[in-house]
């Protein structure tokens, strides 16, 4: 019996340190990007499925399921999945940064702080770090929000996406599709 209890306690000590302090609430979080075609028509798109954590030391990671791209046009969703993101070979993109959780430690609900952070995007095995203005909010005793104060401008060339954009332009018969894409997000995390 004692051996069994020791085994259970040891397995718990292995599992517990791996758990994150905060989990992303996908249903209340959004990551949106804007595409511009014909040099004049801009449209907002987003991803339906993301997971993420913030560890106790503040390391924040978001994993975006690229197949969940939503453009409100089913054929365009399929084309972006296959021609741009190549989800068969690259299912996810990862975004990471550090959130200073101690800034909210003594805050009441509604407490807010702003910061400029390095945000690293990992897509197609390539990484690019952007400077991002963020607002972090205490939404409840066990809930925080992280919002991009300004859009982050992502360049297709940083991740080798120019060929995919050109393929989309050709199949849609468009004169142009912009290769710079503004990205914004509202991320809600619940304490575990």
Could you tell me the domains of the chain? Answer: 20-191 (2.40.128.110)
Could you tell me if residue 86 is left (phi over 0), alpha (psi between -120 and 50 degrees) or otherwise beta?
left
Span 37-68, pLDDT tens digits: 999 999 999 999 999 999 989 999 999 999 99
DSSP state of 11: H
Name the β-bridge partners of 65: 92
Span 91-135, pLDDT tens digits: 999 999 999 989 988 889 999 999 999 999 999 999 999 999 999
Q: Label residue 106 exposed, middle or buried (CB < 10 Å: 0-12, 13-18, 19+).
A: exposed
3-state class of 151 per DSSP? coil
What are the start-end ranges of the H helices in the chain?
A: 2-15, 74-79, 162-172
- Say how many CA atoms lie within 13 Å of 95 toward its Cβ: 23
């Amino acid at each position: 019996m004692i051996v069994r209890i020791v085994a259970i306690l040891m397995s718990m000590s292995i599992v517990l340190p791996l758990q994150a302090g905060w989990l992303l609430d996908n249903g209340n979080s959004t990551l949106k990007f804007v595409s511009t075609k014909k040099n004049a028509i801009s449209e907002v798109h987003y991803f339906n499925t993301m997971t993420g954590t913030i560890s106790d030391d503040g390391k924040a990671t978001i994993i975006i399921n690229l197949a969940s791209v939503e453009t409100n046009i089913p054929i365009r969703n399929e084309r972006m999945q296959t021609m741009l993101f190549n989800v068969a070979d690259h299912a996810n993109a990862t975004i990471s940064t550090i959130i200073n959780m101690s800034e909210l430690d003594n805050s009441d609900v509604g407490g807010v702080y702003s910061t400029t952070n390095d945000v690293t995007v990992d897509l197609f095995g390539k990484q690019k770090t952007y400077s991002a203005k963020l607002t972090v909010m205490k939404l409840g005793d066990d809930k925080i929000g992280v919002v991009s104060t300004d859009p982050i401008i992502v360049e297709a060339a940083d991740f080798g996406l120019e060929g995919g954009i050109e393929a989309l332009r050709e199949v849609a018969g468009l004169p142009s599709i912009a290769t710079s894409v503004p990205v914004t997000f509202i991320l809600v995390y619940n304490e575990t």
